[in-house]
Amino acid sequence: MTEMNLDDSPYFTQLKAEKALFTIPKLEGNQLFYCTQCGNCTQAHFYKHVYSQSINMETGEGSELFEHFYVSQCCLADLAIMDNDTFKDIEIDPIHYLPVKDR
């Protein structure tokens, strides 16, 4: 039996985000999101991170524990904001990193 490397699997995409961005800040003027992994401009992707999953083998019923947050669409990495006129990073307000229930 061979061991499968999940990084090489077309069916598994590894999450690279280190900080969970629970809400999206409003972009102003000529600002845009970019991926901190590859640097490309990108859309925010609403990601479902499943951290626990169980299946009842008798009934086939399953349950999941998960959270939703935003990541880059291309690499599933952290998002950053850049001003496209000055090419400088714009700091994201820390409130966007707090789960909505904890605000």
pLDDT digits (tens, 9 = 90+) for 41-68: 888 999 998 889 999 999 999 999 989 9
- What span, in angstroms and rounded, lies between the C-alpha atoms of 76 and 37? 9
102 within domain boundaries: no
Q: Are 53 and 63 in contact (CB under 8 A)?
A: yes
The DSSP output letter for 92 is P
pTM score: 0.75
Q: Nearest-CA neighbor of 66 among 52, 55, 77, 76? A: 52
55 within domain boundaries: yes
| Residue-range definition of the domain harbouring residue 75 | 16-96
Neighbour-count burial of 49, counting CB atoms closer than 10 A to its CB (0-12 exposed, 13-18 middle, 19+ buried): middle
Q: How confident is the model at residue 13 (pLDDT cuts 50, 70, 90)?
A: low
7 within domain boundaries: no
101 within domain boundaries: no
92 within domain boundaries: yes
63 within domain boundaries: yes
- What span, in angstroms and rounded, lies between the C-alpha atoms of 25 and 54? 34
**How many structural domains does the chain have?**
1
22 within domain boundaries: yes
Instruction: Please tell me the total number of residues recorded for the chain in this structure.
Output: 103
2 within domain boundaries: no
